[in-house]
Amino acid sequence: MAIKKKDAAEATENQDAQATEASKAGEGSEAPPQVQAEEVERKNPAQWAAELKFIGTSNPFMPQQSRRINPGYACAVTLYAWDRHEHHYPKEPILLTKAEFLEAIGKATAFPLEAPLSAALSKLVASRFENFTAAKRR
């Protein structure tokens, strides 16, 4: 742990020294460019499901046997028509961030049904939910 802190301190000192040298050389008076935020990773729902272990095989030694599928993921696949969209529009995949994917699953399993996440909807079912209003609880 101490080695990592030492390496981090040396790296910070090297950056400070480079910035000082650059300002002395008159290369520019503006601050060093900020590191741009990493782009948010976008994947299709099947990739997120595999990565987050929402789907898998029951027996790793015989993958052709039954699959284990998370019930929330199964609800979302049906509600948002991800599987049909993948079949009908292979060149236009639905790309979601991890947060959007998890939110879509949460909304698919909510009771009473909430308005679905619009970013996750397939073209095939988007028209069904244009004027959707959730039912009031009794």
**DSSP reduced 3-state for 95:** coil
Q: Which of 83, 103, 107 is nearest to 93 (CA)?
A: 83
Q: Classify residue 85: in a domain, yes or no.
A: yes
Q: Classify residue 72: in a domain, yes or no.
A: yes
Q: Classify residue 16: in a domain, yes or no.
A: no
Q: Classify residue 108: in a domain, yes or no.
A: yes
Q: Classify residue 4: in a domain, yes or no.
A: no
Identify the pLDDT of residue 130.
Answer: 79
**Residue 128 Ramachandran class (φ > 0 left, ψ -120 to 50 alpha, else beta):** alpha
Q: Classify residue 83: in a domain, yes or no.
A: yes
Flag whether the pTM goes above 0.75.
Answer: no
Domain membership of residue 85 as a residue range: 45-129
Q: Classify residue 79: in a domain, yes or no.
A: yes
Q: Classify residue 82: in a domain, yes or no.
A: yes
Number of domains in the chain: 1
**DSSP reduced 3-state for 68:** strand
Q: Average the pLDDT over each of 82-86, 98-102, 119-123 and give the range with the smallest value.
A: 119-123
